[in-house]
Amino acid sequence: MSAISRHERVDPLFRGFQEEVVAMLARHEGSIERFRDDRWEYQHGGGGHSRVLDGGKTLERAAVHFSHITGASLPSAATQHRPQLAGAPFRALGVSVIVHPRNPYAPTSHCNVRYLEVAPGEGSEVFWFGGGFDLTPFYGFQEDCRFWHQEACGACLPFGGNELYRRYKDWCDRYFYLAHRGEPRGIGGLFFDDCMLGTFECTFEFVAAVAWCYLRAYDAILTRRLPLAWGPRERAFQLYRRGRYVEFNLLYDRGTRFGLESGGRTESILASLPPLAHWTYASCPDERAERNLKEQYLQVQDWLASGGEQSGSPPVDGMPGH
């Protein structure tokens, strides 16, 4: 298969995924017209299409970006395992999804799928996929966490069995970790980079499975959680915990670094941040919710275990998810 036919296969897959995610989110918001339609050009070649909703009734921010760009110098953040490729000409395609619901009981979610081709000065062209998805609840529900990981495992099974799910779940747990806070960003999911599962065709199908898995799983969780009633205390706790999300994206996220280092469109890159977040000095607006979240959900654990058994202290009576 030629290089041009590879990225021509990926391009319509990623564009279609963007359209389906926007359609799903628009159903929850009640209007697709609220999504801004923003097409842009990349200074070195190619461009992208950003669909962004700000200030919605149910979705406070939702950003769904497609990009297909070429450049003369691959940023070091693009590949963790092939540092020798930094500075080589490249082509990159990707879709990035970030959703910050207004309801504190509906979790924030993130998904990314990407494909890169690199032409080093010596040797043949190199190509690989990357991506994954993760979930960041503020008020956790056991049902949602188990379902999220069951769906993630199901996406992996045809391509590498349970071992592939375990490998990419572990990678996700390690990647989405705030070292300065000593806690994960959320309850994880899948994360993979520099990925080739034998052939291009097999990996292409795996990435497609991951994309559609995210779409189905998050749609179901939003359907369950968006109708729940909430008030000022839950809102204050949501904004407090969103601060952790901002910290990860600005301090650790390689996608953010890649976008900024490659001269990408800053508006699109930073649309992953929530529109509102709070930092309070040495205090928390809901200590009970914070304790429950940290003890029951922000722990690396086996969400597929029978009956949802997990490490940590027993659930706090009266908290959501019990």
Nearest to 269 by CA among 74, 90, 102, 48: 48
The proportion of the chain whose per-residue pLDDT surpasses 90, expressed as a percent, equals 74
Top mean pLDDT of 43-47, 114-118, 268-272 is at 114-118
Residue 142: inside a domain:
yes
* pLDDT higher than 70, residue 318: no
Q: What is the pLDDT of residue 317?
A: 28
For residue 196, the one-letter residue type is M
What average pLDDT does range 45-51 have in this prediction? 91
Residue 321: inside a domain:
no
Neighbours of 48 (CB within 10 A): 22
Residue 316: inside a domain:
no
Report the alpha-carbon distance of residue 285 to residue 78 in Å, rounded: 38
Residue 299: inside a domain:
yes
Residue 313: inside a domain:
no
Mean per-residue pLDDT over the chain, rounded: 89
Name the residue with higher pLDDT: 42 or 315. Answer: 42
Q: What is the pLDDT of residue 4?
A: 55
* pLDDT higher than 90, residue 246: yes
Q: What is the pLDDT of residue 137?
A: 98
Q: What is the pLDDT of residue 220?
A: 98
Residue 124: pLDDT band (50, 70, 90) is confident
Name the residue with higher pLDDT: 212 or 120. Answer: 212
Q: What is the pLDDT of residue 1?
A: 47
* pLDDT higher than 60, residue 85: yes
Residue 233: inside a domain:
yes
Residue 80: pLDDT band (50, 70, 90) is low
Task: Give the domain range for residue 156.
Answer: 3-308
Residue 230: inside a domain:
yes
* pLDDT higher than 50, residue 3: no
Nearest to 299 by CA among 184, 191, 189: 184
* pLDDT higher than 90, residue 173: yes
Regarding pTM above 0.75, the answer is yes
Number of structural domains in the chain: 1
- In sequence order, which residues have a C-beta less than 8 Å from that of residue 314 and are 6 or more positions away? none
Query: CATH number, domain at 120?
Result: 3.40.1500.10
> Integer distance in angstroms from the first to the last C-alpha of the chain?
52
Residue 315: inside a domain:
no
What average pLDDT does range 231-260 have in this prediction? 92
Q: What is the pLDDT of residue 216?
A: 98
Catalytic site residues?
A: 110
Nearest to 66 by CA among 89, 94, 40: 94
What average pLDDT does range 241-265 have in this prediction? 87
